[in-house]
Amino acid sequence: MTLPPDLLYTSEHEWLRIEGEHATIGVTAFAAEALGDIVYVALPAVGQTVAAGTPCGELESTKSVSDLYSPVTGEVIEVNDDLAATPESIGTDPYAQGWLFRVRVEELGETLDAAAYADLTRAG
């Protein structure tokens, strides 16, 4: 599994890309593979405040429904509306087209760098 080294990761298998005061958030390839074929995505609404480490949405696959956790606290400023029609892009391109939402960051939750996240996925 190749992990983009410029991203941060969480133990709940989300990734985030920090760009100034904003963060783009998605789920890792590891999580997408574990979920299987993703068929529905419930994301937080634009304007909603999300809190680091708490559920803010759901990913439904042919196998199960999984909570989506926010890795940051802040206001949602954009969601990937394309996922309504193509939720499978989370599995096929999780670090680009499969992004989930963007947040104006107030506080960063607990994160891991790529090496630490790789160790976590090997251990788990």
Per-residue pLDDT reduced to its tens digit, 80-117:
999 999 999 999 999 999 999 999 999 999 999 999 99
**The total number of structural domains that make up the chain:** 1
pLDDT tens digits, residue range 24-74? 999 999 999 999 999 999 999 999 999 999 999 999 999 899 999 999 999
Residue 71 domain-assigned?
Answer: yes
Is there a domain that residue 121 lies in?
no
CATH number at residue 62: 2.40.50.100
Is the Cβ–Cβ distance between 41 and 83 less than 8 Å?
yes
For residue 26, being part of any structural domain is answered with: yes
What counts of helices (H) and strands (E) characterise the chain?
3, 9
**Is residue 106 included in any domain, yes or no?**
yes
Domain boundaries, position 17: 8-113
Q: Is residue 108 part of a domain?
A: yes
- Structural domain contains residue 95: yes
Residue 124, domain member (yes or no)? no
